[in-house]
Copies of this chain bind each other. A is one copy, B any other.
Amino acid sequence: MSLQEATEMTLDNPRETFQQFLTSKGLRVTNQRIAIFDAAYDAEDHYTAEDLLDRSRKIDSSVSRATVYRSLPILVESGMIREVDVGLDNKYYLANRETRTFQAQVIDADNDKIYEVDAPFMEWYGKTVCERLGMEPVAMRLQVTARKINPSKD
């Protein structure tokens, strides 16, 4: 395996990417941070801080609630997960795997389940809205609360 191949492999491995992020910021690579990262990046769906604590502890039982809360902003800043605050009781988080187009959230009004939906031209739309105020978008979110049209089947 060439050095170049090794480098590429490394960059393909999300955990390595996260470790490099930590190092580049002068932060330490601790067992707890790796356990929390693995739990956070593996998850299929949205999760709360408390969910993440449970999942992290299955990997490293020493993980504390405080460390989860202290790690979440780091994970978000690294771009490996996204934060989604839809105004429910707590904030939700989500692994940020391939997605690059803008995502909208649809919240089922009957069970608070969150769906992520591609909304590509949202980007342009947000920019338009900002222009009227002489501003430029830093982040944007379309959030739709909705209800199943035919609730016979759930």
Contacts and interface: CB of A to CB of B under 8 A. Distances in A.
A69 interface: no
Interface string A133-153: 111111111111111111000
Interface SS of chain A: strand
Interface stretch (A8-16, A26-34, A71-79, A104-112): A104-112
A85 interface: yes
Task: Please give the count of copies of this chain that the complex contains.
Answer: 2
Interface stretch (A43-51, A55-63, A93-101, A123-131): A123-131
A58 B140 CA distance: 37
Contacts of A136: 146-147, 149
5 contacts: A87-B87, A117-B129, A133-B146, A137-B146, A140-B143
Given A122-B125, A125-B125, A138-B147, 18 more contacts: A85-B87, A87-B87, A104-B129, A106-B135, A109-B138, A122-B142, A129-B142, A134-B148, A134-B150, A135-B148, A136-B147, A137-B145, A138-B145, A138-B146, A141-B142, A142-B142, A142-B143, A143-B143
